A = this chain, B = another copy of it.
């Protein structure tokens, strides 16, 4: 046993991976340390050698997810400040972060339900700054007349995040609402995310085609107010 002491993957990373999967699937209290250790292929005390307590493991799993999030942040920042297709880039980049591993969405969702007061500072530090940037983007679009004037930017962003996180977390179970599941298991998720992005665009842009053109990043506003025929704000 233990011939391969220097296995290719760090045992700590293996523990984090399996813990993430089981926490996401069964919840924190529902996934026992024994089960996690068994999934890794070790005994429970060995697991507790790497993480001092179950709660320590939970924080490690959370930190691991946030570390992955921080990896995509540079691309997100670049996309948010680039000249074109800002909306498309930011939205799809964020969505793909969760789609790449739906356990991230499920884990985040469970933690928000179980420990909202503990998640609040994490949310504020990791995504609050983004909301400000996107709010500026939206308000600029409103000045240019490309974005609905009656948007509440902060609330809009919260709803879009909600849509992405919960949409991915519940994708398997909630698509039971959509008919034609048999034989279309491949294309259904695509329909699902395509419509999600369409809703996001339609909720933002007066002319959805503007989503691809983007909003002029420079502070100038030469583009005239286009097609503001029926502004039915409340």
What residues make up the interface of A, taking CB atoms closer than 8 Å to B? 26-27, 29-30, 106, 109-110, 112-114, 116, 119-120, 123-124, 127-128, 131, 148, 150-152, 154-159, 161-163, 165-167, 169-170, 172-179, 191-192, 194-196, 198-199, 202-203, 207-209, 230, 232-234
Which of the listed residues A157, A167, A208, A230 has the most CB atoms from chain B within 10 Å of its own CB? A208
Contacts of A30 in B (CB 8 A): 27, 29, 114
Q: Bound state CA distance, A110 and B26, in angstroms?
A: 10
Report 11 cross-chain contacts, Cβ distance below 8 Å, ordered by A residue.
Answer: A27-B29, A30-B114, A123-B174, A124-B177, A131-B177, A148-B202, A152-B191, A154-B179, A166-B170, A198-B232, A203-B203
Known: A155-B195, A163-B163. A232 touches B207 (CB 8 A): yes
Contact indicator A162/B166 (Cβ below 8 Å): yes
Contacts of A148 in B (CB 8 A): 198, 202, 208
Checking B113, B158, B174 against A162 with a beta-carbon cut-off of 8 angstroms, the contacting residue is B174
Known: A29-B27, A191-B155, A203-B203. A173 touches B112 (CB 8 A): yes
Contact indicator B127/A155 (Cβ below 8 Å): no
| 7 closest cross-chain pairs (CB), A and B | A116-B173, A155-B195, A166-B166, A209-B232, A199-B203, A154-B178, A152-B195
Contacts of A191 in B (CB 8 A): 152, 154-155, 232
Known: A113-B169, A203-B198. A158 touches B131 (CB 8 A): no
Contact indicator B162/A194 (Cβ below 8 Å): no
Checking B116, B123, B177 against A157 with a beta-carbon cut-off of 8 angstroms, the contacting residue is B177
Contact indicator A232/B155 (Cβ below 8 Å): no
Nearest CB in chain B: distance from A189 CB, A:
10
Contacts of A178 in B (CB 8 A): 131, 154-155, 158
Apart from A109-B109, A113-B169, A162-B170, 5 more pairs, CB < 8 Å: A109-B113, A154-B177, A161-B177, A166-B166, A207-B232
Q: Bound state CA distance, A116 and B179, in angstroms?
A: 17
Q: Bound state CA distance, A175 and B191, in angstroms?
A: 29
Q: Bound state CA distance, A209 and B234, in angstroms?
A: 10
Contact indicator B29/A192 (Cβ below 8 Å): no
